[in-house]
Structure 1
Amino acid sequence: STPLSTKDFVNYQHGEIYGINHDPDRFGQTFLRPQTPLKNFYLTGQDIVTAGIGGALMSGVLTISAIKKRDYVSKIYKSVQKELA
């Protein structure tokens, strides 16, 4: 598939395959966070971090961190470092 076929079949304006545009400006958007102004309403998915499976997985970690108010990112990082030592 090409950006043109993606644009044609999925109707993405610029032929992107992963949600919103991945230009440098997107990474500074404050709305791309797990927290929202709505009480107990959180976002998760690939657009919170970056595209793909890894981005979606990391988004889940950030979202549960926001919900539980705990730093699971550091906890996972420390566990990985311990295993690699």
Structure 2
Amino acid sequence: MSDAAIAEMSFEQAMAELEQVVGQLERGDVALEASITLYDRGAKLRAHCEAKLKEAEEKVAAITLDGDGNPAGTKPLDAG
């Protein structure tokens, strides 16, 4: 898969592939050049997962609750 494909992945897809990459690297049965390529892809997958999590956290933080604790809508992310 290309780097462009990583940008299109859902969090779950990227996490599943990252787990596969880590498993391959931990087994140590990959040639050095392939290990470097896998490590690079793993770093990109990790960054993508972190970005997806941050995006989700920002969306959750933007949800306002009414007096009963029920979602009352959202507020702009920059409303502080």
Work out whether the TM-score is over 0.5. no
Per chain length, whose mean CA-contact separation is higher, i.e. which structure has more relative contact order (CA < 8 Å, sep 6+)? 2
Larger Rg: 2
Q: Normalising by the residue count of structure 2, what TM-score does the alignment of the two structures yield?
A: 0.25
Which structure's residues are more often strand, by fraction? 2
Q: Normalising by the residue count of structure 1, what TM-score does the alignment of the two structures yield?
A: 0.25
